[in-house]
Structure 1
């Protein structure tokens, strides 16, 4: 049995962070025995080149509110600090340098698993870490391509997305019970997503 520290990396736009993100984080920590989980907001997702995210300062504010008091979760701003398109390999190399003796796990939506071989420097990614797949309700279990390894989460599948939340805000509908109460209040107070 491995005694290496297990560290999870959770990249994404988090635009906004919602309860689905938090439930996935909890399931990943519990099922995989992660000691720490880093939320890593992207400066610009390579999967959404035409979509400009909400300014980083606002997304970070919402993440801080959502993660307040959760001692095994941390926010890593390195992709925002680097700017430009955020590539996972750059971030993973940073973690290998910082935590060379740890097992690294990267959380990924089931809808992205089949395209892992298209990610920048995918062979190195496959060698450096394992993936934790976030299942989508009603979708078949993801199959890893080639050399990629990982585990699909069992707990807490929730069919909510940040784009649905942004649309609800634009339509004047409630986002209570979809985001943490402090996040909902901040979105209202700062008039985000209108």
Structure 2
């Protein structure tokens, strides 16, 4: 019997409750065995924040999902390093776990960008892409994706970073264990 695994990739700089809501909603809607949070090394479409290391981002993800059933961390892109193309990563995961069925979870912003993804026509033959709405985006696409209507929260890592940099509250926006780590390590301070 194959395992049904959700993959939620991102920079997670920092991880916030929006990420957790997405993972939980997809986990239950599709009856997955688990959802893995996959921090990327160097995303092809974003400039990385040099102040926060990959190890810091990984530690924040671990803390965000600590003791959450059916949530795990996938470090394959961090282990490999370099630019993280979803097609290459999924090829590696499929080779490592040939009996798993992968569900790659993306937000509306990425659904709109799908035509520009590296080897997208090959990727959709290998994994099931799951699109979830984000505020002010559409999950309409010609690609064969599962569209899930989930509760939306207008929250981004950028907003959280701005709040942290300006000493404003992040209570309820990021998990307490993540907030504690950010304060201890003095991340995002200007």
- How would you bin the TM-score normalised by the shorter chain? over 0.9
1:79-105: per-residue Cα shift (whole Å, max 9, x none)? 111111111111101221133233211
Deviation of the 1:162 alpha carbon:
0.3
Alignment of structure 1 residues 79-158 onto 2, 5 Å: 79-137=77-135, 139=136, 141-145=138-142, 148-158=143-153
Note the residue ranges of structure 1 that are not aligned, 5 or more in a row.
Answer: none
Write the distance in 1 (CA, Å) between the matches of 2:158 and 2:185: 18
CA contact (8 A) 1:15 1:53 kept: no
Match of 2:11 among 10, 13, 16: 13
TM-score of the aligned structures, taking structure 1 as reference length: 0.90
- Quote the Cα distance in structure 2 between the aligned partners of 1:183 and 1:44: 22
**Runs (5+) with no aligned partner, structure 2:** none
What root-mean-square deviation, in Å, do the aligned CA atoms of Structure 1 and Structure 2 show?
A: 1.7
The TM-score normalised by the length of structure 2 is: 0.92
| Alignment correspondent of 1:55 | 53
Instruction: Determine the C-alpha separation between the residues in 1 that align with 2:71 and 2:86.
Output: 19
Secondary structure at the counterpart of residue 84 of structure 2: coil
Cα shift at 1:45: 1.0
